[in-house]
């Protein structure tokens, strides 16, 4: 999936095969400062790490959201939003 742009930052889901860590994470890149960072861990990341969910990030209503799709349950999506430094 392509990255998501929100307020000067690009966000994307990092797959473990692309780094030295075996955990999945949401990564950010600040375009102005050229700084990479990892977004706060959350319940949605824990769900993503536990199973075979497909995951991507999106901007919805001005907020960063993590969207998880379980391939076993085709009609269901879990959408988590980051608001005030907390995932809901």
In this predicted model, which residue has the larger pLDDT, 14 or 62? 62
pLDDT tens for 33-73 read: 999 998 876 666 666 656 667 788 999 999 999 888 877 77
Q: What is the mean pLDDT of residues 14-29?
A: 72
Question: Which residue, among 29, 59, 55, has the nearest Cα to 42 in the 3D structure?
Answer: 55
Classify 19 in phi/psi space as left (phi over 0), alpha (psi -120 to 50) or beta. Answer: beta
Total structural domains within the chain:
1
Q: d(Cα 83, Cα 88) in Å, to the nearest integer?
A: 7
DSSP run (H or E) holding 19 = none
Contacts of residue 11, defined as CB under 8 A and 6 or more positions apart, other chains included, come to: 3, 4, 5, 26, 27, 28, 39, 57, 64
Domain containing residue 28: 4-87
Q: Full-prediction pTM beyond 0.85?
A: no
């Amino acid at each position: 999936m392509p990255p998501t742009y929100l307020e000067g930052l690009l966000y994307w889901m990092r797959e473990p095969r692309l780094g030295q860590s075996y955990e999945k994470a949401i990564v950010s890149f600040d375009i102005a400062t050229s700084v990479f960072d990892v977004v706060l861990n959350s319940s949605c990341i824990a769900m993503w790490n536990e199973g075979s969910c497909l995951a991507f990030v999106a901007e919805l209503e001005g907020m960063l959201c993590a969207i998880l799709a379980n391939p076993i349950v085709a009609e269901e999506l879990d959408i988590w939003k980051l608001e005030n430094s907390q995932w809901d």
